[in-house]
Structure 1
């Protein structure tokens, strides 16, 4: 299973999310989109999820904080107490044993990030 994890500002647009997603995924085809619990109802994120036709999973703040991320964003550390919201969301939603396929990629407008994680399913 491949999960695309997202971190984004409230002002992010569908285009911001799409740009970060396209930069992160290259040729991968994520099965699931993930973001912090409090962001999954943001209109732009819902519209983006509908556009790409993937289900969404929210990740609670305490679960995000338990993830070990490769990159460190000062904004993410201050706001969420985690180095990368996108990486943490992808890892958490993919489940135990998940590994990052890509570190976070930042949208051109710097309003959204996306990272991919993968967990082998048996």
Structure 2
């Protein structure tokens, strides 16, 4: 199972999410896109999921603090207790034996991040 984790600002566009996903490796083979629960209903995210033909998986914020990520953003560590929302939600959505196959990448406008994890599934 392969899942793209996405972190983004409230004003993100579909184009920015798409750009970040493409930079992380693209949508081929994805089973889902994942993000933090409070952003799972974002219109741009739902549009991206629809384009990719996959569901959106919502990951509760309290789950992120227990996930170590290779990328470490001080701001994200202070806010969520993990270094990268995109990496953490990708890993959480795949399950306990998940591994990152694409570390966090950032869209040019810096409103979206994406990472891809794969594993056996939850």
The alignment's TM-score, normalised by the length of structure 2, stands at 0.92
1:114 aligns with 2:110: no
Residue 11 of structure 1: SS of its match in structure 2?
Answer: coil
Q: Secondary structure at the match of 2:72?
A: coil
How far does residue 53 in structure 1 lie from its aligned partner after superposition? 1.2
1:1-122 pair list within 5 angstroms: 1-26=1-26, 28-120=28-120
CA-atom RMSD, angstroms?
Answer: 1.4
What's the secondary structure of 1:69's corresponding residue? coil
Superposition deviation, residue 27 in structure 1: 7.8
Q: Work out the CA distance in 2 between the residues paired with 1:27 and 1:49.
A: 9
Moved more, 40-49 or 89-98: 40-49
Q: Would you say how many aligned residue pairs link Structure 1 and Structure 2?
A: 121
- Residues 30-78 of structure 1 deviation map (CA, whole Å, 9 limit, x = unaligned): 1111000001101111111112111111000111111110001123223
Gaps of 5+ in 1: none
Per-residue displacement from partner, 1:59-104 (whole Å, max 9, x unpaired)? 0011111111000112322332220000000000000111111110
The TM-score with structure 1 as length reference comes to: 0.92
Cα separation, 2, equivalents of 1:40 and 1:98: 21
Q: Which runs of 5+ in 2 are unaligned?
A: none
Distance across 2 between alignment mates of 1:11 and 1:68: 27
Paired residue secondary structure (1:5): strand
Distance 1:105 1:55 in 2: 21
